[in-house]
Amino acid sequence: MFAIIEPVPAYPSPATTLQVGAVQVTPGASAFYQWTLFDAQGVTVGKNSIALTGDAYTAWGSDDAYLYTYTAAQLGLTIVEIVPDAPPAPEPTPEPAPTEEPAPVE
């Protein structure tokens, strides 16, 4: 999952994508997670951590999209779209082994 954001100034180029990941969770109490900003080429242009406590931790529940909206609010970012993880690719169906045609009888 990641969020496309309105571009914000960053070095060496504007940030266009936000990604978050849980670092440490104390069940029922708090979470400490990292956020990362990327430019359009996927280069990291900023990162840091946020502590999620109290009402913010309770509101998180198991909805990771909440981490994106909470982080964007803390950083003053505007989310354009939250992009969910792609579903797993289906297992390829094996092709049946080719059968050889018998040689013509002469």
Averaged over successive runs of 10 residues, the pLDDT of the chain (106 residues) comes to 94 94 85 94 94 92 89 96 82 71 70
Give the pTM.
Answer: 0.77
Amino acid 79: pLDDT = 96
Amino acid 102: pLDDT = 67
Amino acid 39: pLDDT = 95
Amino acid 13: pLDDT = 93
Lookup result for tokens 């309770």: 58
SS3 labels along the chain: CEEEEEEECCCCCCEEEEEEEEEEEECCCEEEEEEEEEECCCCEEEEEEEEEEHHHHHHHCCCHHHHHHHHHHHHCCCEEEEECCCCCCCCCCCCCCCCCCCCCCC
